[in-house]
Structure 1
Amino acid sequence: MEPNIKGILVNLLSKSLILFVFAVLAACSASEAPKAQEGSALEVFKSPTCGCCGKWVTHLEESGFNTTVRNQNSLDSIKKKLGIPANMQSCHTGVSADGYFFEGHIPAKFVKAFLAKPPENAAGLAVPGMPAGSPGMEMGDRFNPYSVILVKKDGTTEVYAEVASLEEQHQ
C-alpha cells in the first residue's frame, strides 16, 4: 500500500503545483492592467523659458500622467532623433516609455487614447504650431480649430483627430 499512497500524494502535489502556478500567473496579469491605466509616464523636453510648455505639462499631470521635464536650450537633436518632420514641430516634445512622441499642444485625452491602442506603424502624434486655445495655449474664450496629426514611422502623416471647440479637448 505504501507505493500507492506515494503515487497519490505525488499526483496530488503535482496538480496542486500546476494550479498554484496558474493562479499566480493570473494574479500577475490582473495586477498589471490597472498599473498601465493609473498614470502613463511621459518625458517632456522643452525650453527652460517656455511658459506654454509648462502649462501643457500641468494639463498632462491633471489628466493623470506622470511627467519628467527635461529643460534644454535646443530641442533640434531630440526632434531629429525621434524623426519628427520639420512641418510637424512645435515648442515641446513628450516621449512615452515605449518611444512614441507627442509633439506640441496635444490634449491629454488623445495621448491616452493613442497609448491605449497605438495605430500600426505609428511614431507619434503632433499638433504643429501653437493653436490658440489648445492645452497650454489658453486665451480666455479664444480658440482656433486644429488637427491632431498621426505621424507614421515612414514619415507619412494623416489626421488622427479634429478639434473644433474648446469643449472637444476635454470630453
Structure 2
Amino acid sequence: MFNTIRSAIARRSLAGMLALGATLSACAAQAAAITMYRDPNCGCCLAWAAHLENGDAHSVETVDHPDMASVKTEHGVPDGLRSCHTAIADGYVIEGHVPAADIERLLAERPEGIAGLAVAGMPMGSPDMEHRTHREAYQVIAFGPSGTSVWADYGGTM
C-alpha cells in the first residue's frame, strides 16, 4: 500500500513539474525582447512591430538601418526568403511578416537545426499586410543549417 501511495505521489509530482516547465517556457516566449532592423522609409515594419507588442506579449526595439541587405547577410537569411525587415528574437532570426503565434511557438519549442523563420516578400494577409478585399496564401518557412521547411501554411500551398 505504501509503495502504491508513493508511486501516485511521484506521478503527480512529475505531472506538476512538466506543467510548470511548459508554463515557464510559454512565459519566456511571451517575454521575449525583439530587435527589429528596418529601412527607415518602410512603414509596414512599424505596423508589424505593433502586432508583436499587442497585449504586451513582446517588447520590440526598432533599429533604423541604411543597408538592410548587409543585416540579412550577417544573420544568414537565404536570398529567396528575404523581406522588408529582419528581427532577432532570443537568438532566432525572424524575417518579414511572421505572425506572432509562430514566433511564440518557435521560442517555446526551440527545435534543433532552425536558425529562424521567414515570410518571403510582403504577402497580403500576413500580419499588418491585411487588405479587406484581397488575401494571398503564404507560408512561414523555417530555415537553418539543414535547409528549409514549411513551419506554417496560411491559405494553402503556393
TM-score range, shorter chain: 0.7 to 0.9
Mapped partners of 1:132, 1:56: distance in 2: 13
Max Rg structure: 1
Structure 2 residue 88 is matched with structure 1 residue 88: no
Q: Secondary structure at the match of 2:151?
A: strand
Matches within 5 A, 1:148-163: 148-154=140-146, 156-163=147-154
- Relative to structure 1, the CA distance from residue 119 to residue 38 in structure 2 (aligned partners, 3 Å threshold; closer, same or farther) is closer
Cα RMSD, aligned residues only: 2.2
Q: Which runs of 5+ in 2 are unaligned?
A: 1-19
Q: In structure 2, give the amino acid aligned to 1:75.
A: M
User: Aligned pair count?
Assistant: 135
Aligned to 2:105: 113
TM-score normalised according to structure 1 size: 0.72
Query: Matches of 1:96 and 1:136 in 2, distance apart?
Result: 19
Runs of 4+ more than 3 Å apart: none
Provide the C-alpha distance between the structure 1 equivalents of 2:94 and 2:68, rounded to a whole number of angstroms.
Answer: 13
Unaligned runs of 5+ in 1: 1-28, 166-171
Residues 1-171 of structure 1 correspond to what in structure 2 (within 5 A)?
A: 33=24, 36-62=28-54, 64-97=57-90, 99-154=91-146, 156-164=147-155
Q: Cα gap change, 1:134/1:35 in structure 2, threshold over 3 Å: closer, same or farther? A: closer
Identity %: 37
